[in-house]
Structure 1
Amino acid sequence: MSADIAFIPRSYLFVPGDRPERFGKAFGAGADAVVVDLEDAVAPDRKDAARAALAAWRAAGQERGGRLVVRVNDDASPWFADDLDMLRTLGPCEVMLPKAESARQLERLAAALPAGTGVIALIESARGVLAAEAVAAAPGVARLAFGTLDYALDLGLDDDPRGLLYPASRIALASRAAGLPPPVAGVTAGFNDDAALREDFGLARACGFGAKLCVHPRQVAPVHAMLAPSAEQRDWAARVVAAAGAGGGAVQVDGKMVDRPVLVRANAILARGPA
């Protein structure tokens, strides 16, 4: 299913669903989307309170800027049905489904949600990676995301990032083949570790990812900066577009021919804009 989205988020900032006092701060942190988490960040005995807090906060109209994403509990959990009941009355938002492993899961979810609700399918397991193509093509799916920490746990991986190259590439290929935006990279747990953030997202970018899940507001600006083209890239792109627009047959920039793929890349760089 192709995603029809005017603006494609670069950053998704998590906030615990049972901490409504943090919702406003999260929306004011500059992230393109805020993920109110009803799953991992909320203890089992706090699930009801988290749903009630989100519903009350939304009803009070306190949302300012960014887009709301709700990460529900997985569809095999005892809390999933109640999450869906709350979403039917919450109003417009996107939904993040953890442990996405089959198209059938997404079909059932799309049927249970208000029409037009976009779903971010969070792939976190070997089963999910092997089903990435079917998940990406399922009804209602707007984007894929890669839950790297849970995936590493599922496969018993250590800290060697090479273990994430194949699944990340497969998720990116599945997204592209389904006409979805580039997928969303997993979290970097050490929110004070800028080097780890750059390394994690650099690997994801090399595989074709175009956004990142963030666990702290201070991660948002570096993620945006890493997605923005450099001054040198923008200068090159501007010269390519100008040369192509001048016409006159074959065109060269910096001693290289400007053919259609080069022009498309140059326009894409200019469209990304600064951080």
Structure 2
Amino acid sequence: MTEPITYLFVPGDRPDRFGKALTSGADRIIIDLEDSVLADHKMAARDAIAAAALDWQNVIVRINPVDTVHFEFDMSLLRSVPVRMVMLPKTESSDMISRVNRSLDKKCAMLPQIETVKSLFALQDILHADRVDRVAFGHLDFALDLGSSTDKDSLLYARSQIVHHSRYAEKPAPIDSVTAEFRDTDTVSAEAKAAKNLGFGGKLIIHPAQDLPVKKGFAPSPADIAWAKSVVQIIEKSGSGALAADGSMIDKPVEIRARHIIERAGKIS
């Protein structure tokens, strides 16, 4: 099964946007009860989610952190709807995930967000918690906690650790954080490509206009596809192992990479 690439945030207190989000082309939508909803709007947001006719197969709900006064109200909502996945902001331990699991009367996949330094150093604990699907990076909150810039160089270590720990835990590749700029599609695609090259498998988005640019960034380039096809063609013609083509050695890892590129190109297209 192909893992989702784009995850579109929608404020929970904007039910007029739910339907548009579901038809936007994004692989998943995240109806948010946390940062995008003011405290005095959160109850109305819960009511809107409960009343909405949603395709829950493609809907995730981001709740408020477990240590806030809003958490139990969020849990009450989730027990009343057929939610399949829950996003947990500022997850810093498996205990936080266990608390959500205990509060629900159903089995839901968990999508923890890595948004603090403590989260980063608890990655294996978080990734091995019950029902965790994959993790997502929240670079804005992470940089705030760290006291660093939000640029890619300042957060390269954190991003790399999230990718490496996810692979070690044998989880799907993690989801990269949002790109604030949505009108400049070249910037969106470039940041998506940088995330893909680092090992991320998807990206959070904040506007439907970011969906296609992100998928373009995650798709293999025409040059990559041409290279992959030439490698497979040479291998299939020769029927042997290590070969030289255009001055490059073709052995098993190269063959596997080439076939993965071709497969990914077909799925994303």
Q: How does the TM-score come out when normalised to structure 1?
A: 0.90
Match of 1:98 in 2: 89
Structure 1 residues 24, 259: CA separation in 2 closer, same or farther (over 3 Å shift)?
Answer: same
Question: Which residue matches 1:266?
Answer: 258
2:121 to 130, 137, 144: 130
Amino acid at match of 1:271: E
SS in 2 for 1:257: strand
1:32 paired residue number: 27
Aligned counterpart for 2:9 among listed residues 14, 21, 46: 14
Give the superposition deviation at 1:117: 1.4
Q: Are the aligned partners of 2:61 and 2:83 in contact in 1 as well (CA < 8 Å)?
A: no
* Structure 1 counterpart of 2:156, one-letter code: L
- Deviations for 1:90-147, whole angstroms, at most 9, x for unmatched residues? 1142110000111111122233335441111101011111111211111111011110
Aligned length: 266
**Structure 1 stretches of at least 4 aligned residues deviating more than 6 Å after TM superposition:** none
Q: Which residue of 2 aligns with 1:3?
A: none
Deviations along 1:67-110, whole A, 9 cap, x unmatched?
Answer: 11110111011111121121122114211000011111112223
Tell me the TM-score normalized by structure 2.
0.92
Q: In the TM superposition, what are the counterparts of 1:248-263 in structure 2 within 5 Å?
A: 248-250=239-241, 251-263=243-255
2:79 counterpart residue number: 88
State whether residues 237 and 270 of structure 1, in contact with CA within 8 Å, keep that contact through their aligned partners in structure 2: yes
Deviates more, 1:7-16 or 1:89-98: 89-98
1:188 is aligned to: 179
Name the aligned partner's letter for residue 33 of structure 1: R
Give the stretch that moved more between structures: 160-169 or 252-261.
252-261
* Structure 1 residues without counterparts, runs of 5 or longer: 1-5
Q: State whether structure 2 residue 140 is matched by structure 1 residue 149.
A: yes
**Aligned equivalent of 2:112, options 99, 106, 121:** 121
Gaps spanning 5+ residues in structure 2: where?
Answer: none
216 and 245 in structure 1: CA distance in 2 versus 1, 3 angstrom threshold: same
Question: What is the deviation of 1:267?
Answer: 1.4
Report % sequence identity. 41
User: Any conservation in 2 of the 1:16–1:42 contact (CA below 8 Å)?
Assistant: yes
Deviation at 1:159, TM superposition (A): 4.4
CA distance in 1, matches of 2:14, 2:124: 35
